[in-house]
Homo-oligomer: A and B are copies of this chain.
């Protein structure tokens, strides 16, 4: 059994900087034709200068692979001049509503303070990518944020909004409520729940934000992904941390999946008899939603077992050491 994926895209990936960038970027670039590069560096990518600098850094790190980095700016109060200067060099702007609270009314108020920004982004046709969590109780943060998604989607009907790394059944339902709402979903939220994080022994390598939710949430996400819901895209949120930041008392949030995404997705879609839907989920939907044409790249996978490595450098991947039933056999450029 084989499958060929054309120009797979990872629409939400953390490549970091410096040594970690050079370590992980080639792993994404090996299997993917492009990806949306998140801007939360320290300091963040929040100016045209930083954007151009980071683009160069990423391009250097992925060379000689063919891989298009779709860059993002960190949301702040930009001028129209800044937005116009940045627009040709990026896919969109990433919003993390830092001050949103359990009180969703207050959250909306904080959001409304930036109305002029969304308005400008709508007029300039710059997509808004959102980490949609309030600061409420960990299992409620995304659900509480849905009210803010509704506010934005209704008030800015021509603003293309991506709900990043959705984790709940309610977010899946939102996709069908508003024409201008899209979403990414990670691989790990398709296969784990909170049970896998803290239901048996506690697993720091499955600890992420948003936290994995309930079984019924996972099922709703999986159903949408397996049916290649036209508004849903793969966005791995692959987030490498050195092992000593994971296996420690204050464990950092993030699951590292970049190098195993495609084999695990092939296994998952194969198991559910949905391999014919995988191309849309890993590329076509994103191309249509963002109106992008990634570089041509064919990735061939086959049902041949592989064992997930224990480490990639100093980073432990999800399910390290586990045998899975699919592998990447070749990557072909035209």
Chain B's nearest CB lies how many Å from the CB of A260? 17
Contact residues of A between 179 and 198, Cβ < 8 Å to B: 193-195, 197-198
A52 at the interface (CB under 8 A from B): no
Inter-chain contact A205/B137, CB cutoff 8 Å: no
Inter-chain contact A195/B137, CB cutoff 8 Å: yes
A249 at the interface (CB under 8 A from B): yes
The segment from A10-18, A207-215, A224-232, A295-303 found at the interface with B is A207-215
- Docked CA distance A211–B199 (Å): 8
Inter-chain contact A199/B137, CB cutoff 8 Å: yes
Inter-chain contact B195/A138, CB cutoff 8 Å: yes
- Docked CA distance A197–B194 (Å): 12
Given A202-B204, A207-B202, CB of A215 within 8 Å of CB of B251: no
Q: Which residues of chain B have C-beta atoms less than 8 A from A207's C-beta?
A: 198, 202
Indicate how many identical chains form the complex: 2
Chain B's nearest CB lies how many Å from the CB of A201? 4
Q: Which residues of chain B have C-beta atoms less than 8 A from A214's C-beta?
A: 137, 139
Q: Which residues of chain B have C-beta atoms less than 8 A from A316's C-beta?
A: 249
Contact residues of A between 234 and 273, Cβ < 8 Å to B: 247-253
A82 at the interface (CB under 8 A from B): no
Q: Which residues of chain B have C-beta atoms less than 8 A from A249's C-beta?
A: 201, 203-205, 247, 316
Pick the contact of A204: B205, B215, B251 (CB < 8 A). Answer: B251
Inter-chain contact B137/A201, CB cutoff 8 Å: no
Inter-chain contact A211/B198, CB cutoff 8 Å: yes
Q: Which residue of the partner chain B has the closest CB to A201?
A: B250
Q: Which residues of chain B have C-beta atoms less than 8 A from A138's C-beta?
A: 194-195, 198-199
Chain B's nearest CB lies how many Å from the CB of A240? 16
Q: Which residue of the partner chain B has the closest CB to A199?
A: B138
- Docked CA distance A69–B279 (Å): 64
Inter-chain contact B252/A201, CB cutoff 8 Å: yes
Most B Cβ at <10 Å: residue of A204, A247, A248 = A204
New A-B pairs, 15, CB < 8 Å, besides A139-B194, A203-B250, A247-B248: A137-B193, A137-B195, A137-B215, A138-B194, A138-B195, A197-B198, A198-B211, A199-B211, A201-B249, A202-B250, A202-B251, A204-B204, A204-B251, A205-B249, A249-B316
A: residues with CB less than 8 A from B are 137-139, 193-195, 197-199, 201-205, 207, 211, 214-215, 247-253, 316
Give 22 pairs: A residue, B residue, CB < 8 Å, sorted on A: A137-B193, A137-B194, A137-B214, A137-B215, A138-B194, A138-B195, A138-B198, A138-B199, A139-B139, A139-B194, A197-B198, A198-B211, A201-B251, A201-B252, A201-B253, A202-B204, A202-B207, A202-B250, A203-B249, A203-B251, A205-B249, A249-B316
